[in-house]
Amino acid sequence: MTGSAGAGTSSAGQAAVGSAGAGGAVGKGGGSSVAGAQNAGGTSSGAGGATGSAGSPATSGAGTGGAATGGASSGGAGASGSSAGGATAGPDCSTPMPTGGDVHMGSSINGTADGLGYGIWTNGSGGSITTFANAHAFSAAWNNSQDFLAHVGLDFNASKAYTAYGAIIAQYVESKTGTAGGYSSIGIYGWTHSPCVEWYINEDAFGALYERGTAMATIDGATYSLYTTTTTGTGGANACESGHTGGWTQMISTRKTARQCGTVTVSDHFAAWTQQGWKLGTLSSVHINVEVGGGTGTIQFPVANVTTASN
């Protein structure tokens, strides 16, 4: 498995996402959209409101908007639903952070830890990720780093559609402090190739989750809005398939009610997007991800894991 993940947000750069095998450089780059974080026009309205405790089904904060532009948007029409993904047990929302860990700092870092790939990318003044040799967990910190990502998950070197992997399940527990600047996204994230698609499943944010798109889907018992847009920039050249030129597609699911602990049937989101007529390529990466647009803050993921039913 080699790395492949990043984001098409504002300002050029490259995101390094770790591979589950040999490390692979991956793209994070410029373009006119603020990554699927909120991808919302307007300016941030500041600090988030009350955040649910780690075990709560989640309360959303009050407002960010993310200063984002983006390509021409198209929200799929009509309602879309998909299966709840079976009876997968949820994570223990009271799981404590592991102790120790390895701190990685820099603007473009990738590697592996406990069988998962990790990566950070920033186009600003600093950020770090702490990984653990014997736990699927991580923490991250940033300090006015403009656009900043930190993530842990699976990367794939096989040219296979998502359906080849059966149920793709992500589980996470998170808590956060500080601020995230103009936008933020906490959830699941990755890329597909041929066509090149950058995708987000937004589960939480430092402020309110921003819903876009007219299509809706019920997945894992919750309502998500579905949205697609196009963007351009250097990110596609780094994160898309070899030889890709021009813009790429973003696909975004945003949970109606934020939460800080849960199980996400990622493959059901892929199916819901496909039902809208949106075309996904071969699966490149699935990561637990935080993305922020500045600010100074920290986040802890005592649980951050991605599994597939079939390799």
Please identify every residue annotated as catalytic.
198, 291
List the beta strands (DSSP E) in the chain: 16-17, 24-25, 73-74, 102-105, 108-113, 116-122, 127-131, 138-143, 147-155, 168-178, 184-193, 197-204, 215-219, 222-231, 248-255, 261-265, 282-283, 285-293, 296-308
Structure tokens at 19: 């591979």
Element (H, E) at 2: none
Closest CA relative to residue 9, chosen from 239, 262, 232: 232
What secondary structure letter does DSSP report for 172?
E
Identity at 31, one-letter amino acid code: G
Which long-range contacts does 127-132 make (Cβ < 8 Å, 24+ apart)?
128/103, 128/104, 129/103, 129/104, 130/101, 130/102, 130/103, 130/104, 131/101, 131/102, 131/104, 132/98, 132/100, 132/101, 132/102
Instruction: Give φ, ψ of 2 to 5 degrees.
Output: -115, 160
If DSSP codes are grouped into helix, strand and coil, which group holds residue 154?
strand
* Residue 35 · residue 8 · CB < 8 Å: yes
Instruction: Give φ, ψ of 175 to 5 degrees.
Output: -140, 150
* Residue 189 · residue 151 · CB < 8 Å: yes
CA 160 to chain centre: 20
Q: Rounded CA gap, 47 and 243, in Å?
A: 41
Pairing of strands 116-122, 102-105: unpaired
